[in-house]
Amino acid sequence: MKTGFNKGAARAALVAASLAFGLGLGAAWADEDEHEDHDEGVVAFEIPANPTRAFKLMIGAEVYDNWWETVGTEAPEGTHPAYPAAGKKKGATTWRCKECHGWDYKGAAGAYGSGSHFTGIKGIDGMKGADPAKIEELLRGPTHGFTEEMIPDVAMDYLALFVSEGQEDPSAIIDAATKKVAGDAERGAASYQTVCAKCHGPDGKWINFGSEDDPEYVGTVASGNPWEGLHKVKYGQPGGEMPALLTFDAQAIADILAYAQTLPAK
């Protein structure tokens, strides 16, 4: 069972007109009829009156994870035209930034350099510090082909900000060879038990992200794919209720992840 988070209800409540926000016109609440029409430029997250840098980076990182869950639109159909024939994935997942560029932002130079997610495509880390306008141009351009209907301008702005200024090299806390997190599991236990366990349970097994036959829990992700675990803990789950801890200091997050690696994977 997944959690009781009701995306439909939350989205109906939270739909905001991104174009109005983008132009600085302030809060414009769409009514439910408008929401059902899936208006161009409408996003499912509520933008605060004073969106902070942290808020923008959170949304940008969630767009990187899964843009349609973040924006509240339909999953794309077919396989992304730029997805290489040699890759093993197909369908909607090939439209996720992370699928081609990795959870560690290093593409072929990182964890996706081999295995079932291999694409051979480079990472986004080379664009650290780049002009966000250039990044947007690249993403709206022919190789990527992300239209405004897919990723509305406001979400695109936040994504470009994340690529330019938000991404942090995970090798500062994750050892790529052993996947071990440089954190204090004992200190992490305190945060885990008071924050994460509310939803994931003390053993991390309350929510199964996988299937009945192939279950995936907090422990599974933290140990098997700590880069994904780090991204999720810092930025939350796209379109979901999971909080983002990116304002916590990096050591506190590493400690939580180190503790999560001690939780059962099966």
Tell which one of 17, 47, 256, 263 touches ligand HEC (CB under 6 A). 256
Q: Using an 8 Å Cβ cutoff, are 99 and 89 in contact?
A: yes
Give 11 or 20: the residue with its C-beta nearer to ligand HEC.
11
Q: What is the DSSP letter of 121?
A: -
DSSP lists the bridge partners of residue 104 as none
Q: How far apart are CA 200 and CA 193, in angstroms?
A: 9
* Strand, helix or coil for residue 40: coil
How far is the first Cα of the chain from the last one, in angstroms, to the nearest whole number?
16
Q: How far is the CB of 102 from ligand HEC (least distance, A)?
A: 11
- Contact between 11 and ligand HEC by CB under 6 A: the answer reads no
Cα 167 vs. chain centroid, distance in angstroms?
12
Region of 30-38, 39-47, 180-188, 232-240 interacting with ligand HEC (CB under 6 A): 232-240
Tokens 């869950």 found at: 69
User: Cα 235–64–105 angle (5° rounding)?
Assistant: 90
Tell which one of 61, 161, 189, 196 touches ligand HEC (CB under 6 A). 196
Give 170 or 229: the residue with its C-beta nearer to ligand HEC.
229
Q: How far is the CB of 120 from ligand HEC (least distance, A)?
A: 9
Residue ranges binding ligand HEC (CB under 6 A): 2-3, 5, 64, 67, 80, 82-83, 94-95, 97, 99-101, 121-122, 124, 126-127, 135, 138-139, 143-144, 146, 159, 163, 195-196, 198-200, 207, 209, 216, 218, 221, 229, 232-233, 237, 240-243, 245, 256, 260
